């Protein structure tokens, strides 16, 4: 009997519903679905915040005696220059690809951090003094495979375009195969190397996507346990665990994932420009 009650309540609240994307403004161009939904709005918010943050940190009131804001900007620049760009991108390409890597880092970081701030972007409504307001919830654009795959595709295409442009197609595609492989093994090695290039695309996008999805899911499930078991006693355990996960995500995972995405992009592009490196 109690089991049945639990499952009845569980059907009312399902954490994965937070990741469904109903279209706010349906736009269909033939078979292509360009509807504006929750993920698109989060992307817009993220892009806007990135632009404002970038301009505000880097462009105004720079002086020889730096303010705290300028120190933050310089720290950020040093982090990207020292840890990500230098040593991974060859010096002849650093001027061209540093801006890409830096904006990638900032953009993904902002998208991730915006995902942990409750925002009223949702199709669910709640009633407040007769007003229909959207419910506040957490959702990250990067917890959507399409977004991360899009970002990974830019890196993927840039890698091969730059590799071909700097080395010529023959040298570049030859460089995929490690030096000194016997001719007999070439049949086995060549397909593996081609597959590994596409595995990069998958691992780059899935890493970010699954990290953010798992983080959000964990928080939502922990809070959801209170509703599923419909008992306040659960809250004594669930709320501290959810808070701990939230702090872990915001303090560590958000930055690490943005850092690693930008770092791997730099490594891939740098490796394509100078294959023997």
Partner 1 sequence: MEFLLAETTGDVADLGKAIAFGVGVGLGAVGAGIGIGNIFGSMIQAVARQPELRGELTGIQWLGFALTEAVVFYALLGGLLAYVLV
- Contact residues: partner 1, CB under 8 A: 3, 83-84, 203, 206-207, 210-211, 214, 256-257, 259-260, 263-264
For residue 194, give every residue at least 6 positions away whose Cβ sits within 8 Å of its Cβ, in sequence order, or none.
176
CB 267 within 8 A of CB 259: no
Q: Which is nearer to partner 1, 83 or 197 (CB)?
A: 83
Q: Nearest distance from residue 249's CB to partner 1, in Å?
A: 13
Tokens of 77: 């620049």
Q: Which is nearer to partner 1, 123 or 196 (CB)?
A: 196
Q: Nearest distance from residue 263's CB to partner 1, in Å?
A: 6
Q: Which is nearer to partner 1, 121 or 208 (CB)?
A: 208
Q: Nearest distance from residue 238's CB to partner 1, in Å?
A: 19
Tokens of 91: 């010096």
CB atoms within 10 A of CB 2: 7
20 torsion bin: left (phi>0), alpha (psi -120 to 50), beta (else): beta
Q: Which is nearer to partner 1, 78 or 124 (CB)?
A: 78
Q: Which is nearer to partner 1, 79 or 235 (CB)?
A: 79
Q: Nearest distance from residue 211's CB to partner 1, in Å?
A: 7
Look at residues 27, 29, 246 and name the one whose alpha carbon lies nearest to residue 117.
Answer: 246
The β-bridge partners of 28 are 33
Q: Report the C-alpha dihedral over residues 28, 48, 115, 125, rounded to 10 degrees.
A: -60
Q: Nearest distance from residue 149's CB to partner 1, in Å?
A: 13
* Distance separating alpha carbons of residues 227 and 240, to the nearest angstrom: 16
Q: Which is nearer to partner 1, 93 or 217 (CB)?
A: 217
CB 97 within 8 A of CB 231: no
Q: Nearest distance from residue 195's CB to partner 1, in Å?
A: 15
Q: Which is nearer to partner 1, 85 or 141 (CB)?
A: 85
* Distance separating alpha carbons of residues 117 and 177, to the nearest angstrom: 46
CB 176 within 8 A of CB 160: no
Phi, psi of 128 (to 5 degrees): -130, 110
Q: Nearest distance from residue 80's CB to partner 1, in Å?
A: 11
């Amino acid at each position: 009997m109690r089991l049945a009650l639990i499952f009845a309540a569980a059907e009312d609240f399902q954490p994965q519903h937070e990741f469904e994307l109903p279209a706010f403004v349906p736009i269909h161009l033939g078979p292509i679905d360009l509807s504006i939904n929750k993920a698109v709005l989060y992307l817009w918010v993220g892009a806007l915040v990135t632009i404002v943050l970038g301009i505000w940190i880097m462009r105004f009131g720079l002086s020889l005696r730096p303010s705290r804001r300028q120190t933050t900007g310089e720290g950020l620049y040093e982090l990207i220059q020292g840890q990500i760009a230098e040593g991974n991108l060859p010096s002849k390409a650093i001027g061209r690809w540093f801006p890409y890597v830096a904006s990638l880092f900032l953009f993904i970081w902002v998208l991730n951090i915006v995902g942990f701030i409750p925002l009223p972007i949702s199709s669910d409504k709640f009633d407040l003094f007769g007003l229909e307001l959207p419910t506040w919830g957490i959702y990250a654009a990067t917890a959507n495979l399409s977004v991360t795959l899009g970002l990974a595709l830019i890196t993927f295409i840039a890698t091969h375009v730059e590799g071909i442009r700097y080395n010529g197609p023959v040298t570049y595609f030859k460089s995929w195969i490690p030096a000194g492989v016997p001719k007999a093994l070439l049949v086995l090695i060549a397909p593996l190397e081609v597959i590994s290039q596409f595995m990069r695309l998958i691992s780059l996008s899935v890493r970010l996507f699954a990290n953010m999805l798992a983080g959000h899911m964990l928080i939502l499930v922990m809070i959801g346990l209170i509703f599923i078991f419909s008992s306040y006693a659960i809250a004594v355990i669930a709320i501290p665990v959810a808070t701990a996960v939230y702090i872990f995500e915001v303090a560590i995972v958000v930055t690490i994932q943005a850092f690693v995405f930008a770092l791997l992009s730099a490594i891939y592009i740098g490796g394509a420009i100078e294959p023997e490196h």
